[in-house]
């Protein structure tokens, strides 16, 4: 395996991990500040997490000119 391939996969996994951490942190913060509980908390947290996760991936694609899942197909 050449260095370019290893670097590509390293950036891919680092970007995914970054999006997971940012999405989880922000969605939990918003839900905690709102004081939601029960199934409403779960639903809102899931929707916020998904939205933030994909937004972060989209921003990483735009800023660093890398492709995760082809969000910026041109």
State pLDDT tens for residues 34-45: 999 999 999 999
> 33-74, pLDDT tens digit by residue?
999 999 999 999 999 999 999 999 888 888 877 777 765 555
Closest by CA to 59, choosing from 48, 49, 68, 47, is 68
With respect to residue 45, please indicate whether it lies within any of the assigned structural domains: yes
Contact residues for 50 (Cβ-Cβ < 8 A; gap 6+): 23
Quick check: helix, strand or coil at residue 16? helix
Give the total number of structural domains in the chain: 1
Domain extent, residue 41, equals 35-66
With respect to residue 22, please indicate whether it lies within any of the assigned structural domains: no
With respect to residue 18, please indicate whether it lies within any of the assigned structural domains: no
With respect to residue 73, please indicate whether it lies within any of the assigned structural domains: no
Q: Which residues of 13-33 are buried (b: 16+ CB within 10 A; e: fewer)?
A: eebbeebeebbeebbeeebee
> pTM to 2 decimals?
0.80
């Amino acid at each position: 395996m050449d260095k370019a391939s290893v670097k590509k996969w390293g950036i891919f996994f680092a970007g995914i991990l970054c999006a997971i951490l940012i999405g989880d942190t922000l969605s939990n913060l918003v839900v905690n500040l709102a004081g939601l509980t029960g199934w409403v908390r779960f639903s809102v947290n899931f929707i916020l997490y998904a939205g933030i996760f994909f937004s972060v991936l989209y921003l990483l694609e735009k800023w660093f000119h890398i492709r995760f899942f082809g969000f910026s197909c041109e």
